[in-house]
Structure 1
């Protein structure tokens, strides 16, 4: 099963870093928002906790 995660990055800081880390985690898909301060990632349910941790570690807030 897949899970979709939305995240906001205040001021855009860390969004690109999180995107690269999520891709390294083998996210199915990562889309950066047009504003540069958000992203949406589709990940396998087995790695949801790790994905959320990477987002927070990069300065983001999962929604």
Structure 2
């Protein structure tokens, strides 16, 4: 499992990514006081899809 952290420029984008990651059966957790970061444990087989979801939602991912 990889831990992926993502940063977004708006809470709306972070929430969108959170919901999409949940649809992949992942359990992202929102972090930070601003609600614009999230962290998720991602299996190797879902890593590329998760990174795409984050990018598509307007976020920047760090593994």
Shared fold per TM-score greater than 0.5: yes
Which TM class, normalised by the smaller chain length?
0.7 to 0.9
Q: How many residues align?
A: 61
TM-score of the two chains, using structure 1 as the length reference: 0.88
For 1:46 and 1:17, how far apart are their aligned partners in 2?
22
TM-score of the two chains, using structure 2 as the length reference: 0.88
Stretches of 4+ moved more than 6 A in 1? none
- Alignment of 1:39 onto 2:41: no
Unpaired runs of 5+ residues, structure 2, are none
Instruction: Give the alignment's Cα RMSD to 1 decimal.
Output: 1.1
